């Protein structure tokens, strides 16, 4: 999983007493495994190099639910900023099949990356996709 987006993730930082909270543009709708059975992930900044000292962070999604946690504890560069891209490797084989349209959030694309080249394997869902089954 690459920051839940074809482009740079929308990152918002909130500083707590012992960690920073990094909110990204994905969440439990595209990776429910942390909330369902306490899956444990790591992540790293993927869009640039940083020599800033590490800071303890929790990466959370955009659903405003207590279980909307992607990475529980990770040391990320303290200069992390909006627009940075986070990579979450090894999210599991069933991530896409377990994804949902929770809160009417379209599912993200599936993107393969090889030799610094990306290719969309499954396109991002659209609002039309969300409404396609509505008969009202």
Supply the pLDDT for residue 16.
58
Lowest mean pLDDT among 12-21, 68-77, 105-114: 12-21
Cα gap 42→120, rounded to integer Å: 23
pLDDT in tens, 28-70: 998 899 999 899 999 999 999 999 999 999 999 999 898 999 9
DSSP H helices, 61-125, are 95-98
Given a cut of 80, is residue 8 above it in pLDDT? Answer: no
Percent above pLDDT 70 for the chain: 88
Active-site amino acid positions? 64
Buried b (16+ CB within 10 A) or exposed e, 75-107: ebbeebeeebbbebeebeeebbeebeebeebbb
Place of tokens 């996709």: 129
Supply the pLDDT for residue 6.
35
């Amino acid at each position: 999983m690459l920051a839940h987006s074809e482009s740079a993730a929308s990152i918002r930082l909130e500083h707590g007493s012992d960690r920073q909270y990094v909110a990204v543009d994905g969440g439990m709708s595209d990776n429910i495994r942390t909330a369902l059975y306490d899956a444990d992930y790591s992540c790293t900044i993927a869009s640039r190099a940083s020599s800033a000292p590490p800071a303890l962070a929790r990466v959370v999604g955009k659903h405003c639910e207590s279980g909307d946690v992607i990475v529980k504890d990770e040391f990320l560069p303290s200069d992390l900023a909006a627009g940075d891209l986070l990579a979450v490797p090894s999210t599991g084989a069933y991530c896409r099949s377990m994804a949902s349209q929770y809160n009417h959030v379209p599912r993200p694309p599936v993107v393969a990356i090889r030799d610094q080249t990306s290719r969309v394997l499954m396109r991002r869902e659209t609002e039309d996709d969300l409404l396609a089954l509505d008969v009202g």
